[in-house]
Structure formats: structure tokens, C-alpha cells
Amino acid sequence: MADASSVTNAPARGRFSSRSGFILAAAGSAIGLGNIWGFPTQAAQNGGGAFLLIYLAMVFVLAYPMLVAELTIGRLSQQNPISALRNLASGPQTRRIATVGGALGVCALSLILSFYAIVAGWLVAYMLAPVCQLLGLEELAGWFTGFSSSRNLAMMLVIMLLTILVVRDGVSSGIERWSKRLMPTLLVLLVVLAVYILNQPGAMTGLRMYLQPDFQQISPDLFVNAMGQAFFSLSLGVTGMMVYGSYLAKQENLPATAAMVAGLDTLVAFIAGLLIIPAMFVAQQNGVTIYAADGSLLSSDTLVFTVLPAMFDTMGSAGPFLAIGFFALLTIAAITSTISMLESPVNMACEQFQQPRRKMSWLAGGLITLVSATVVLNFEALFGLVITATTVYAQPLLGMLYALLLMWVLKRDRLLNELKQGFPELETSLFWKIWPWYVKFICPLMILLVFIH
Ligand code: TRP
């Protein structure tokens, strides 16, 4: 059968070998530090169950429709993100906008990788520290857990190297193969750790806080935070999902497949909450301080790098193994995400410059490593700035642009035909009655409202 590559004479492009392979890889992209660290911390700070409810609503009403849109753009043309976006255009003007939007997306995604690799490196360091302690290498353990440029640089390099090695091997023999190994491991680790923590004294206080909504905490800010969290968690708006969509077979039902990905992502965030929030109260029971001086719960970096390690220290001989398991969980979650961040620039470079994947993996990966090293060496000035520029601005704004191009510029019958290939009953489905109209008007409006706020 002739596929897109033989028609356009482009070098053969990869594709996922099965539906489950795609779902695991896309869920691997979605499930990351945002789920296991970001979501529980935000929930702990923003009224527990109240945040959970608003977050679920945001995933359902905003993030899921946008995910279907981004995957559709990729699969429509089965080309790299820039070509895929240009393919939506109807004239020279929209073509230019699409090109710039695509290029900005690939740049933003590369920048996301440059800071994410640093954070992921810290997690590897915290996984190796208890190993060193068990081996009596106290000094090395101290280097792993102390904040220094040398540690940050070395660990970031480890993450980038692993990421490049997977992406280099291609879509099905690199990304898909590793997603199939790592994602089940992640799920098992997560469930085992959650069950263990829930059986510790103090856990029930945390569980109550997580599941009982405190509606007094609901505020406009909470909506903004929940929306940002949902966008980040589903890897939206910067071509990461678009490129995965371009490797999905035409006969797959895209709305249903995307629902699986969003569902898995949300499920893992929910279970991570069952682990992290009770763990904070187990830590308190064991004498670790979990509230800051102003009465708020300690969160983000202090939570992961101070509170939880202190809790593991109070858990006797099981402690180091729990610590290793916990940071291994975070490392795995991070690596399946960094893979998806590198894939888009690599695919773009291969197709735009007609170069082999191996070479482009080292080139794009190497360039991003240099950017990341610059961030490490100018940490105070750049780290927060890069995070804000990419996740607060680029993700929602570019996501909005892509959705507008898909819905306002592309002919509606082309969209219908694209989705019908894997979903023959599409025209009569509830999805088709709501989704196009919804992504055309409501999603951009919601994103704008949040910006005005
Ligand atoms: N979604 C991942 C997480 O929750 C991170 C991630 C992967 C991402 N790919 C992305 C974020 C693309 C933004 C854009 O940690």
C-alpha cells in the first residue's frame, strides 16, 4: 500500500507498530513529573479534593479536546510538525503563520526539555544516593544530594544521553519498545509504593485531606493552576503530541485512542496523589516538619527533596529501598517524557534537511544539551524564566493557535474524512456534534479568559 512517504519521496518515516504501542508511548509522554510530583503538590496546596475535582473538569472540558486536535493535525499529514501545520493552511498568509507557529512550538518544546532534563537529573541523583549509602560511600551520596553545578551538569548529561540513545533507534524500535518496558514498571512501582504508604500510621489524615474537597479554597487562581497543570500533564501545545499523532495508523479511532491516553494520565495523577499526600502525613507522624512557618504545607522541591527523604530515613531498614523505588519511579516517568520531547525536533530535522535519524538525534540532542548546560551554569537567572516562558505562555498560546488553524483554516470535510477513517460512525456520533464547534469557540475562549485573568 502506498503511504505518505512513498508519495512525497521523503525518507521512510517511522510509525507505531500497534495501537497499544501508541497508547503506551503517548501515555509515557503525558505521564511524567507533572503527574507524580506536580499534581499531588498542587492538590496539597489548593484544598485537596477541591483541586482534584476542578482538575478532572479541566482535563475533560479543555485538555482532552485539545489533545484530539493536536493528534489529528499530526496524523492528517503524517509529516513533521512544521509540515503538518503548513498542510492545514489555505493560502500564503496562513502558511506563514503555520510555519512560524510550528517552529516556535519545536523551539519551546526543546526549551522544555532543557529544564526538564535538569530536574530529571536531580531525581537520578536522589535515586543513586541511597545506593551509595548502602555501599558505605557517604561522600558520594553527599555529592548526589547536595546542590552543585557539577552534580546538575553530570546528571543532566546522563538524562540527555539516555534520551538520545532511545530516540536514535527510531519510533518502533526505540520509543515504542522502551515505552512498553518502562510504563508497566512505572505502574507497578506506583501501586506498590502507594499501598505501602497507605498502610503506615498517619496516612489516613492525608487521605482525608486529599479526598474531602475544601470548597472554600475554590478561587479563580485555582482554575488557572488546574488548567496549566492539565496542559502540562497532557504535553499539549508545543508539537510533542503532534509528532506522535503523525506516527499513528489511519485506521485507528483517534478520539477513542486519545481518551485512553488522557484517562491513563489522569489515573496515574490520581494514584500519585494517593501516594504523595498520605506520605506527607506519615512523615509528620514520624517527626518530620511538613508545614512552613506561615502554616502552609511544604511543597514542590522541599517536599520531594527534603520531606520525603527525611521520611524514608525514619523507616528503618526498609527506608533506603523505599527511597530507591520512589526515585526510580520518578526517573522512569521523566524519561518516557524526555523521549517525547526530543522526538519532535529530531523528526523535524530529519525531514526538513533530509538527513538520517541517527545523525539528527545526536545533533538535536547535543544542541539541547548545550542549552541545558547554559541553564545549569546560570541557574538563578534562567531556570525559572525558561519554565515560565514555555509552560505558562508558549504551551497555552501555541496550543490555541494550532486549534484555530485546524478548525478555522482547514476545510471541514477534510477533517471529517480524516477522523472517519478510524471511526466510520463519526458523523452520527455525539463527539462530532460537540467537538469541532467546541474546539473552534470554547477552548480558545477559555484560554484567553485565563490569560486576561
Ligand atoms: N506531560 C509530561 C509531564 O507531565 C511532560 C511533558 C512531556 C511535556 N512532553 C511534553 C510537557 C511536552 C510539555 C510539552 O511531566
Contact indicator for 210, 50 with CB cutoff of 8 Å: no
Q: Would you say residue 124 lies in a domain?
A: yes
Residues with CB under 6 A from ligand 1: 29-30, 32-35, 109, 112, 232-233, 235, 238, 240, 337, 340-341
User: What is the CATH number for 61?
Assistant: 1.10.4160.10
Tell me, in angstroms, the distance from the centre of ligand 1 to residue 401's CA.
18
Tell me, in angstroms, the distance from the centre of ligand 1 to residue 338's CA.
8
Q: Distance (Å, rounded) from C-alpha 129 to C-alpha 139?
A: 10
The mean pLDDT of the chain is 94
Average pLDDT over residues 67-72: 97
Tell me, in angstroms, the distance from the centre of ligand 1 to residue 2's CA.
33
The values of phi and psi at residue 38, to 5°, are -60, -50
pLDDT digit string (tens) for 353-382?
Answer: 999 999 999 999 999 999 999 999 999 999
- 3-class DSSP state for residue 322? helix
Predicted local confidence at residue 7, as pLDDT = 43
Residue with cell 510555519: 99
Q: Candidates 33, 42, 231, 235: which one to mutate for ligand 1, based on the most atoms within 8 Å of Cβ?
A: 235
b/e per residue 79-114 (b: at least 16 CB within 10 A): bbbbbbbbbbbeeeebbebbeebbbbbbbbbbbbbb
Q: Would you say residue 6 lies in a domain?
A: no
Q: Would you say residue 4 lies in a domain?
A: no
Name, in order, each residue with C-beta under 8 angstroms of 245's C-beta and a sequence gap of 6 or more: 70, 71, 72, 73, 74, 75, 254
**Which pTM was predicted?**
0.95
Predicted local confidence at residue 436, as pLDDT = 96
Q: Candidates 55, 112, 115: which one to mutate for ligand 1, based on the most atoms within 8 Å of Cβ?
A: 112
Asked if the model's pLDDT at residue 215 lies above 90, the reply is: no
b/e per residue 332-346 (b: at least 16 CB within 10 A): bbbbbbbbbbbbbbb
Domain that holds residue 311: 11-452
Q: Would you say residue 3 lies in a domain?
A: no
DSSP state of 48: B
Average pLDDT over residues 189-215: 94
User: Which atom of ligand 1 is least distant from the CA of 33?
Assistant: 15
pLDDT digit string (tens) for 302-358?
Answer: 889 999 999 999 999 999 999 999 999 999 999 999 999 999 999 999 999 999 999
Residue type, 295: G
User: Which atom of ligand 1 is least distant from the CA of 108?
Assistant: 14
Q: Candidates 116, 119, 300: which one to mutate for ligand 1, based on the most atoms within 8 Å of Cβ?
A: 116
CA 221 to chain centre: 22
Q: Would you say residue 5 lies in a domain?
A: no
Q: Would you say residue 188 lies in a domain?
A: yes
Q: How confident is the model at residue 104 (pLDDT cuts 50, 70, 90)?
A: very high
pLDDT digit string (tens) for 382-420?
Answer: 999 999 999 999 999 999 999 999 999 999 999 999 999
Q: How confident is the model at residue 31 (pLDDT cuts 50, 70, 90)?
A: very high
* Number of domains the chain contains: 1
Tell me, in angstroms, the distance from the centre of ligand 1 to residue 229's CA.
10
Q: Would you say residue 125 lies in a domain?
A: yes
